[in-house]
Amino acid sequence: MDFTDVLEKCGSFGRFQYVILLLYGYTNILGSLHYFSQTLITFTPEHWCNHDDLQHLNVSEVRSIYANITPASCTLLESVINGTGVTAKGGECRDWIFKREYDYESITTELKWVCDKSHHSTVGQSFFFIGSVVGTILFGFLADRIGRMPALLLTTLAGASGDFMTSFVYSFPMFTLSRFISGLSTDTMYYLMYILVFEYLSPKHRTFGLNIILAVFYCFGLVTSPWAAVWIGNWRHYLWIASLPALGVLAYPIFICESALWLLTRQRYDRAVQCLKWVAKFNGRQVDDSVFDEFIKHYRDKANEEQKLTTHEDTFLGMFRTPRLRRFTLTLLLKSVIITLSYDVINRNMEGLGLSPFKLFSFTSINYLPAGCTILLLQNVIGRKGMACGALLIGGIITTVTGFLIAFLDPKENAVLLAIMIGLGRYGVSVSYDAEIQYAAEIIPTSVRGRAISNIHVVGLASNSLVFYVIYLAKYYKPLPSIFISFLMFFGAGLCLTLPETLNKKLPETLAEAECFAKDEPCFYFTTLDKRDKNPKASA
């Protein structure tokens, strides 16, 4: 009797699952506030070098004075004659006039990180992602060493501490240090909770539970966070809103227990049974002790059999020992780079598009709800492979069209059209990103799921160091960032063909099972084309 059978008896979609899904939703709100705080605190509004003759002028008048001066933001004026600025022959600008959106004080406006200091916020963002790489490796290792739950608590509190520390900094070195600490939990707080929910949900409810919660709660966090920043009016206070609610994760162990599947891979059978009994009690189910006795016997026998066949303990590096699993792993690593880089370039490029970046970020964030519903409606119909391929292909087409519209249309006159296209682009890349998480979690065996997913995310996060270089390509030709990202998405769609379908199949628990998983399946296999009967124990 395996884990799926026992979980069904204990309740695979009862009160326990409702609670863990709500906590997963809370984690998604925390994750959205945390991940995009980096964008919201560093918004750089339109600005001009200050001069005594510009005092008491409105923004339109200042813009008119600088109309024939390039660059207006960093050029020191000697005087203003007949409404036209006269450039100073020497000296550097040390004070600026900012066109603050909704009077919001960002770190760039407060500390005047513009012109020769404009790199400060970018370097801080880089340290944020360096912290992400370190944190993903560290907490991914801890997730498979000490458990999913303690690793989840540690990573969430580490990220919140970094955000809280950032709110008190006044110097560039302290900013980079605090952003590094903040970055430690960038993805781990989300995916460790994802793994817990994934492992306690029945296969047939997995797609619905994971994606509808992600769509609703993550969308809520993203849509409201810009207005929270505007309402509070200051980047320091906004970081308090983003960090202090993370203390709520300390209550998680009251309601949910450690991953029983992880405990089984560590051969801690008695503790796994305790967790399943807790699930049964929470769900109001009565399960005979004989069921758990048979359950333990099954996994003890399985462990003894595997020990005879191999001398290797399952590790992430073990995924590179055998040919098929090595190919799957390399493909997942490369796909992570493609999807993460595409996701961040599209989501962070919000300035200079004709609308307030606060409005553009908030309104286009609504796409997360239809993105989650798209996965919910289609993933169990067209399968994981079909969903991954289709999302990347359609996302690439949308991104290409958006790039050329940005190139040839005036942003101020076509702000609504560009906002719609940006929203569609975020929709496409969101579907790709969310579909990839579940797809990878199902291909990777249980025994190394925490470490493997963390390492796959590490490679993806490392690619974020290229985000600002990709965006900078627009300096040479405006559509270049979109063309580059579109090419990556098309390439990623092709890579998906090399992966196996996981829908309607018993998922692997060990490396040995993963090597043989879907062994006879052709590259162009899609669930919608398969007329065979479906396995009732299938993943979903």
Q: What is the mean pLDDT of residues 468-486?
A: 77
Is the dihedral angle over the CA atoms 516, 521, 526, 529 positive or is it negative? negative
- Please report the pLDDT score of residue 67 as a whole number: 76
Q: What is the DSSP string of 303-361?
A: HHHHHHH-SPPP-SGGGGSSHHHHHHHHHHHHHHHHHHHHHHHHHH--SSSSS-HHHHH
Phi/psi for 528 (5° steps) reads -65, -20
Under a CB-based contact definition with an 8 Å cutoff, are residues 223 and 366 in contact?
Answer: yes
- Please report the pLDDT score of residue 350 as a whole number: 61
Residue linked to tokens 């098929």:
324
DSSP 12: S
Q: What is the mean pLDDT of residues 425-437?
A: 81
Provide the percentage of residues in the chain whose pLDDT is more than 70.
92
Rounded-to-integer distance, Cα 374 and Cα 357, Å? 26
Residue linked to tokens 């090399």:
498
Coil, helix or strand at residue 107: helix
Q: What is the mean pLDDT of residues 454-476?
A: 74
Structure tokens at 122: 């970018």
Q: Is residue 237 predicted with pLDDT exceeding 90?
A: yes
Candidates 141, 128, 135, 171; CA nearest to 464 is 128
312's CB contacts (< 8 A; 6+ apart) are 318, 321, 511
Q: What is the mean pLDDT of residues 158-180?
A: 92
Phi/psi for 111 (5° steps) reads -95, 0
Mind listing the pLDDT tens digit for each residue in 21-66? 999 999 989 988 887 787 788 888 888 888 777 777 888 888 888 8
- Please report the pLDDT score of residue 289 as a whole number: 85
Q: Give the pTM.
A: 0.74
Burial group, residue 115, by CB count within 10 angstroms (0-12, 13-18, 19+): middle
- Please report the pLDDT score of residue 354 as a whole number: 56
Candidates 292, 298, 297; CA nearest to 9 is 292
Q: Is residue 531 predicted with pLDDT exceeding 60?
A: no
Q: Is residue 510 predicted with pLDDT exceeding 60?
A: yes
Phi/psi for 123 (5° steps) reads -65, -40
Structure tokens at 117: 């200091």
Residue linked to tokens 């550097």:
92
126-140, 356-370, 519-533 — which one is most confidently predicted on average? 126-140
- The partner residues of 87 in beta bridges, in order of sequence, read 77
pLDDT band at 176 (very low <50, low <70, confident <90, very high): very high
45-59, 169-183, 378-392 — which one is most confidently predicted on average? 169-183
- Please report the pLDDT score of residue 535 as a whole number: 47
Helix residue spans in 444-521 (DSSP H): 449-462, 467-472, 480-496, 511-516
Average pLDDT over the chain, rounded to an integer? 81
Rounded-to-integer distance, Cα 526 and Cα 389, Å? 10
- Please report the pLDDT score of residue 491 as a whole number: 92
Q: Which of 24-38, 388-402, 408-422 has the lowest mean pLDDT?
A: 408-422
Q: Which of 249-258, 320-329, 375-384 has the lowest mean pLDDT?
A: 375-384
Cis status of the peptide bond prior to 71, with omega within 30 of 0: yes
User: For residue 384, what is the enclosing H or E element?
Assistant: helix 368-408
Mind listing the pLDDT tens digit for each residue in 302-341? 777 766 655 556 677 777 888 888 888 899 889 888 888 8
- Please report the pLDDT score of residue 540 as a whole number: 42
Rounded-to-integer distance, Cα 166 and Cα 182, Å? 8
Q: What is the mean pLDDT of residues 79-107?
A: 80
Helix axes 203-213, 368-408, angle to 10 degrees: 50
- Please report the pLDDT score of residue 352 as a whole number: 55
pLDDT band at 346 (very low <50, low <70, confident <90, very high): confident
> What is 1-45+110-311's CATH number, 1.10.10.10, 1.20.1250.20, 1.20.1270.10, 3.20.20.70?
1.20.1250.20
- Please report the pLDDT score of residue 268 as a whole number: 87
User: For residue 81, what is the enclosing H or E element?
Assistant: strand 77-81
Q: Is residue 102 predicted with pLDDT exceeding 90?
A: no
Rounded-to-integer distance, Cα 201 and Cα 180, Å? 34
Q: Is residue 376 predicted with pLDDT exceeding 80?
A: no
Q: What is the mean pLDDT of residues 505-527?
A: 76
Is the dihedral angle over the CA atoms 380, 381, 387, 391 positive or is it negative? negative
Which CATH number does 313-540 carry?
1.20.1250.20
451's CB contacts (< 8 A; 6+ apart) are 140, 141, 143, 144, 315, 316
Rounded-to-integer distance, Cα 82 and Cα 65, Å? 9
Displacement of CA 478 from its chain's centroid (Å)? 26
Q: Is residue 174 predicted with pLDDT exceeding 90?
A: yes
- Please report the pLDDT score of residue 505 as a whole number: 79
- Please report the pLDDT score of residue 306 as a whole number: 66
Q: Are strands 77-81 and 47-49 parallel, antiparallel or unpaired?
A: unpaired
Q: What is the mean pLDDT of residues 226-233?
A: 88
- Please report the pLDDT score of residue 97 as a whole number: 85
pLDDT band at 409 (very low <50, low <70, confident <90, very high): confident
Q: Is residue 9 predicted with pLDDT exceeding 70?
A: yes
pLDDT band at 534 (very low <50, low <70, confident <90, very high): very low
Coil, helix or strand at residue 539: strand
Domain ranges within the chain, ordered by starting residue? 1-45+110-311, 47-99, 313-540
Mind listing the pLDDT tens digit for each residue in 278-304? 989 888 888 888 888 888 888 888 777
Do the first three CATH levels of 1-45+110-311 and 313-540 match, i.e. the same topology? Answer: yes
- Please report the pLDDT score of residue 80 as a whole number: 74
Q: Is residue 533 predicted with pLDDT exceeding 50?
A: no
* Amino acid letter, 344: D
